Amino acid sequence: MNLLSLTHDASAVAIPGPSPWAALWRREPRLVAFACLMLAMMLPAAIALGLDERVLRGVNVWVKPLKFMASVALLALTTAWFAPLLPDAVRRSRAFGLLVWTVIATGGFEVGYITLQAALGQASHYNVGDPFHAAMYTLMGTGALLLTATQPWLAWLIWRHGERQGAPAYRLGVLLGLGLTFVLGASVGILLGGGLPASGVGLPVVGWSRSMGDLRVAHFVGIHAGQVLPLAGFVLARWQPGAAVAGVWGVTALWTALWAWTLWQALSGQPLLGL
């Protein structure tokens, strides 16, 4: 926990400050509550993973809901973390409220439908065998696009209205990360929507194919630009303030190059690192 120092009777007294969760809650309670719901849902899903032996395309039916719960929770938490870069008036505005509820509605729909299909032992993605499932798959694609579109939307609000008192490198990392989340992540997501990835058990946790190119690798790299680049800006501003802005541009170039390399590997059918 953070420590706040108070001076009383010529002696310094340290008292505990707010916990990270409490501090995050003050930033944007709606998104934090939603993220907590996603994280709480992971417990019964993990129990189901241990008890349910059903598989789809060689993978337990509960693996996909768990991954989406974690991913949506992370996106909601980082969106909440960046909220204080906006002045209070903007955070109370209709535009920011719409952004927040777009994250909650689209993320909740994605996770809800994926979890329902897992419970039924049916596929959520690429399941277009009848009009209902085809319509739901289209809605999932639209929802995913809207969900990632909230990130450049937030970047625009920060660029136009955001506070400028903080470290320029951190602000730059936030803006670039949020923008590239959509540009890199959503572009590969559209490619993924057009065809099934490799089936079977892949690399641990992520499930990426061991035997052939997998677009999910490039999608992962693109989607997580929104966490990596702001973190780079924060660290560089703290430890190398004189070169921090240039450093953020350098990290951005390297991250984009990694994305391009993984995309090329997937499109050319090469497994990641030959694994």
Give, as one character, the DSSP assignment of residue 139: H
Q: Do 50 and 62 form a contact (C-beta atoms < 8 A)? A: no
Q: Do 75 and 40 form a contact (C-beta atoms < 8 A)? A: no
Confidence (pTM): 0.85
Structure tokens at 203: 């690399």
Q: Do 232 and 225 form a contact (C-beta atoms < 8 A)? A: no
**Predicted local confidence at residue 23, as pLDDT:** 78
**Predicted local confidence at residue 192, as pLDDT:** 83
The string of pLDDT tens digits covering residues 64-121 is 999 999 999 999 999 999 999 999 999 999 999 999 999 999 999 999 999 999 999 9
For the chain, domain boundaries: 27-163, 168-275
**Predicted local confidence at residue 13, as pLDDT:** 35
Q: Which helix (H) or strand (E) holds 40?
A: helix 29-51
Average pLDDT, consecutive stretches of 10 residues, N- to C-terminus, the chain (275 residues): 34 48 84 97 96 88 94 96 92 94 97 96 88 93 95 96 85 97 92 68 66 81 96 94 94 97 86 58
